[in-house]
Structure 1
Amino acid sequence: MKRANRSKSKGTNLILTIPGESTKKQIIVGAHYDGTGNGDNGSGVALLIANAKYLAAYQPPYTVKFIFFDAEEVGLMGSTYYVDKMSFWEKQSTLFMVNVNSIAFGDYPNIYGGVYDPGQTKVIQTEAYDMAVQKAEEVGMKVWSADKLDGYFHKHGRGPESEPNTFYTNPWTTQNPPPNSRGGQTPYVSPANGGWGDHAPFAEQGITLRSIRVDQLVCCWEWRKRCLHRLL
C-alpha cells in the first residue's frame, strides 16, 4: 500500500501496556481508531478495549501492548510511525503482532498470518497463524484453515457455508487464484493477507504477524472474549 507523506501530518497513537510475568518479551495487539464507522474500525477498537479490560485482571505470561493506531485510512501513518520509532531490542523482543480490523461486517470471520515470499512462491513466518489455529481448535472452535480451503471455490463454485464459532482464512493460492485475478496471479496467498493494514509495517521489519478480520456479525460476547485472549 502506498504510504502517505508524514512530514506535514499529525496524529496520536494510544498505547496501553499490561506487564507480563516476563517483560523480556512482548505481544503487540493493534487496531486503528480512525475510519468510516462501527465496522471499520470501531469494531476492532471495541474488541481491544474489552480484551485489555479482561487481561488487566490477570498477569499474562508476556507483556501485552495494546496500540490504537491513528491515520490508517490515509496510508498506515500511525503504525508506520510506531514501527519507525521501535528500537532494535523492541523489534527483537516482539513475539508477534496481532492486527484486528473490520470485524463486524462482510462474508466470513477470517484469520490470517505469515508473509508471502515471491522468491519461494510460498508464505513464510506462519508460526503465529499456526498457533492461532491450534488454540482456536483447543477451545472448541472450528477452523477452515488454508489447506482445507485450497481449491474449494474452484471445485464448488462458492465458498463454504458461514457457521457460528468458526474461523476461515484467505482461500487463494498460486495454484488456485481468485477468478478475477489478473494474469492468473493472486494478489495475496493463503494464509497471508494483503499489505494494506497496520500489520504491514511490522511485516517489513520481520515481525511475525497474525491478522484477524471477522467479516460477519455472528459473534456473541462469549465468542469475542475467547477469540482474542485465549489466542494470546
Structure 2
Amino acid sequence: MEVRFDGKRALVTGAGKGIGRDTAKALVKCGAEVFALSRTQEDLDSLVQEYPGIQPVQCDLGDPEATKAAVESVGPIDLLVNNAGIIILQPFLDVTLDAFDKVMNTNVRAVLQVSQIVAKGMVERGTGGSIVNLSSLVSKSVLKEHTSYCASKGALDVMSKVMALELGPHKIRVNTVNPTVVLTDMTRKIGYGDPAKAGPILARIPLGKLVEVDDVVNAILYLLSDKAAMVNGTHLPIEGGFLTS
C-alpha cells in the first residue's frame, strides 16, 4: 500500500528522537513538507543534516508562550503528529505533584495547545486535515510506577475522542496510536532494554517481541493518509496481541 503526501505540510512534535524522528523522515519520503519540533537543538541539527529538506523548530512544549509562538510560526499545517511525551516513574505513594504536573503538561496540555492552533487553521481554510496523537497501551492496561504516565495517556485518549467529535464536521480526523512498550532510547533508559524487566510484558505478547519504532510509524502514516478516510476517533492498539492474554 503506497501512501503519498505530496503538497501536504506536516508538523511532528518530539521529532528529535525515536518515533517522532522516524515519523518526520518517513513523511519526507512520502512527499510531505515537514516541520520537526524538538526542545533539543542538537537533535534537530543532526536530523536536518540527515534530511536537509526538513524544517527545524526548536521549542520546549512545557512553555506555553514559546509553544504558541513556535507553532504559529510554521504556518498552515495539513497533518499533525503529536508525538512529544515524557515519562517519570514513581511508586503511587511517592508521586510528587511536580512530576505529575510535568508529565501532564507535556503529554496532555501541550497536545491541547498545539492541536488548537493547528486545527483552527484547518477550519479557517476549510481544507480538512488529519491529527494523530501518540498515546499508549497503558491507557487500557496499567503498569506499576506509571501513575502520572498512565493518567496522562488516559486523558489523551478521551480528549482525542472529543477532538474527533467536534472537528469531524470540519473534515478533520483525529486518532491515536496506542503501542505497548516500544524499543526507543527513552524506554531503554527506564530499563526495558533489560530482558528481566521486559520479560513479564513479552510473556503476554503472543508474537513474542516488543514493538519496534517502524511498527508505530507505519500506523501513523496510515492514519494520516486518505487510506484511513473513514477512520476517526479510533485508538489503534499496536501490541502484538498483548490484550488477548
Per the normalisation by structure 1, the TM-score is: 0.30
Judging by fraction of residues, say which structure has more helix: 2
Higher relative contact order (CA 8 A, sep 6+): 1
Judging by fraction of residues, say which structure has more strand: 1
